[in-house]
Structure 1
């Protein structure tokens, strides 16, 4: 399967973006193709979750371990389901304009049929997924342009 790596700078704090990505139970509310999420176990550093994903006539459930290294990194490893492997990580770094986010995804289905169906759509699907996270950040944390416009201007004194 093709690999996807993307780096973007978003105008939000690293801890905000970390919290958004770590909120796995909310994925069905905003991520395309995620139809359900069930948290099996959660601690400060680990989430074990089942996700139900669907595309056209295909429905698959898989389990993953989500390792949380707040606020800088989230690693996802596949444990059970339709994949040969799944590797995914997010890295969050402070940036003068907000947060630099590195997103990496690589997976391969066990089924050659699924591989052939999804393969040609892989990069477009990942772009839509990343755009969904960006839209969710705007919804949760506000439109950065609007926030900058609404920020109060500090009064300045006129010299006498």
Structure 2
């Protein structure tokens, strides 16, 4: 899978006539150390550094799909699972935007700029091979039932919406809940979109599970094993 990803990214760079020739060279290595924005194309900061690149582990992710059409930049993901934590506990983890930088994969910065009981605004910066971008979101809070984040600045996304719903779990497991996770996004840049085809399935998978792992750190051993639905 990794060699296939190399071919696809190399094809992308040639077709886009990217000035970042270094990206093609450094991607031939199999590991990355720290990523620095050394060049850009299509208003996208390209992360490359002499050294080695480490792409995320590639794998098949059935719930992640691209809508029909090669030129269509919209992507959606739906994930459902039962976890051994209460809706209140999972809500508190997901709504803790200020600390995303500490436990969400590839989140470099996370700052809450305004917060009320039912609404907050936050600025996020994400970096993953080979791009880094910043954006702002408005987050609606309905404890312990749901968290919904919508990108509001429109610099890199035509739209970005993330919705978490927390529903009481099994009767025989009161310390549990059903999690419904929905992500929908569309990049303005075709370059972003084509890179997403290579990287984002695994990134979304890692991000979703990071919240469950963070709940384990905060609240201890879950009352039951996590089950994907």
Higher RCO structure, 1 or 2 (CA under 8 Å, sep 6+): 1
Whether 2:81 is the aligned partner of 1:3: answer no
CA RMSD of aligned residues (A): 1.4
Unmatched tracts of structure 2, length 5 or more? 1-73, 225-229
- The structure with the greater share of residues assigned to helix is 1
TM-score (normalised: structure 1)? 0.87
Which of these residues, 182, 201, 205, is aligned with residue 104 of structure 1?
Answer: 182
8 Å CA contact retained: 2:85, 2:223: no
Among residues 220, 226, 229, which one is paired with 1:142 in the alignment? Answer: 220
How far apart, CA to CA, are the structure 2 residues paired with 1:79 and 1:144?
35
C-alpha displacement at 1:145, in angstroms?
Answer: 6.0
For residues 90-101 of structure 1, what are the structure 2 equivalents within 5 Å? 90-96=164-170, 97=173, 98-101=176-179
Q: Which of 139, 145, 159 pairs up with 1:85?
A: 159
Aligned to 1:153: none
- Tell me, in whole angstroms, the C-alpha distance in 1 between the residues paired with 2:111 and 2:202: 26
Q: Which runs of 5+ in 1 are unaligned?
A: 147-160
| Pairwise CA distance, 1:118 | 1.5
Aligned length: 146
CA deviations 1:20-44 (Å, max 9, x no partner) are 0000011010111100011110000
1:22-71 deviation digits (Å, cap 9, x = unpaired): 00011010111100011110000001000000012411000010000111
Partner of residue 199, structure 2? 121
Stretches of 4+ moved more than 3 A in 1? none
